[in-house]
Amino acid sequence: MDASVHILALTATASTSLREKVSHLLGMNTPFLIVQSPDKINIRYTVLKIGSYDVFFKHLLNDLRRMCTLLPRVIIFCKHKADCAKLYTYFRCSMGDEFTDPSGTSQFLPDHRLVDMFFLGTEAKIKEAIISNFTRPSRLRIVISTVSFGMGCRNVRTRDRKRR
């Protein structure tokens, strides 16, 4: 590759072996790497095989019921869209009328949902509504998604809080 061509490759999740493979494929012989720990106080990364959603998400469900639109926003990433659908159904069924704000509003009105799901096959109009609702003041508190949400949503910000 021509040494005068500059390449910037960014990723949030690549392992060492994947970074080496990408560098090789892009012809980056001696790349300058900046590797930062994703350990942030307001971000939690957990990989679990869950037999019952109630075991792991009961506290979040209770917090959402108690705090409603005051709950800090949460993104739950799932490996497969089927997992998104199952978890979304868990929240919807568990919350009943409290699934929307105000309570009892039709769940078919995206601007009133407290929980929504986002994956590659989600209708474009719904994707736009979810991104808009998650990146501006709105009722939406929890997005259940595959990695496609991170690719489609450019305005998600995290705040570093000082550790006490």
CB 26 within 8 A of CB 33: no
The mean pLDDT of 8-13, rounded to a whole number, is: 74
Those residues whose C-beta lies under 8 Å from the C-beta of residue 3, and which sit 6 or more positions away, are none
pLDDT tens digits for range 106-159: 998 889 999 999 988 888 898 889 989 988 999 999 999 987 776 555 544 443
Is pLDDT larger for residue 19 or for residue 42?
A: 19
pLDDT tens digits for range 73-120: 998 888 888 989 999 999 999 999 999 999 999 998 889 999 999 988
Question: What amino acid occupies position 89?
Answer: T
List residues bridging with 144 in a β-sheet.
Answer: 76, 117
- Please tell me the distance from the alpha carbon of residue 141 to that of residue 68, in angstroms, as a whole number: 8
Which DSSP category does 137 fall into?
S
Q: Find the helix packing angle between 81-95 and 53-67, rounded to 10°.
A: 50
CA distances (Å), origin 141, targets 79, 86, 155, 156: 20, 18, 15, 13
Q: In what order do the strands lie in the sheet with 142-145?
A: 74-77, 142-145, 115-118
Q: What is the pLDDT of residue 151?
A: 56
For 53-152, the fitting CATH number among 3.90.1150.10, 3.40.50.800, 3.40.50.10680, 3.40.50.300 is 3.40.50.300
- pTM beyond 0.75: the answer is no
Is pLDDT larger for residue 128 or for residue 38?
A: 128
For the chain, domain boundaries: 1-36, 53-152
CA distances (Å), origin 66, targets 70, 71, 81, 96, 101: 9, 8, 28, 14, 13
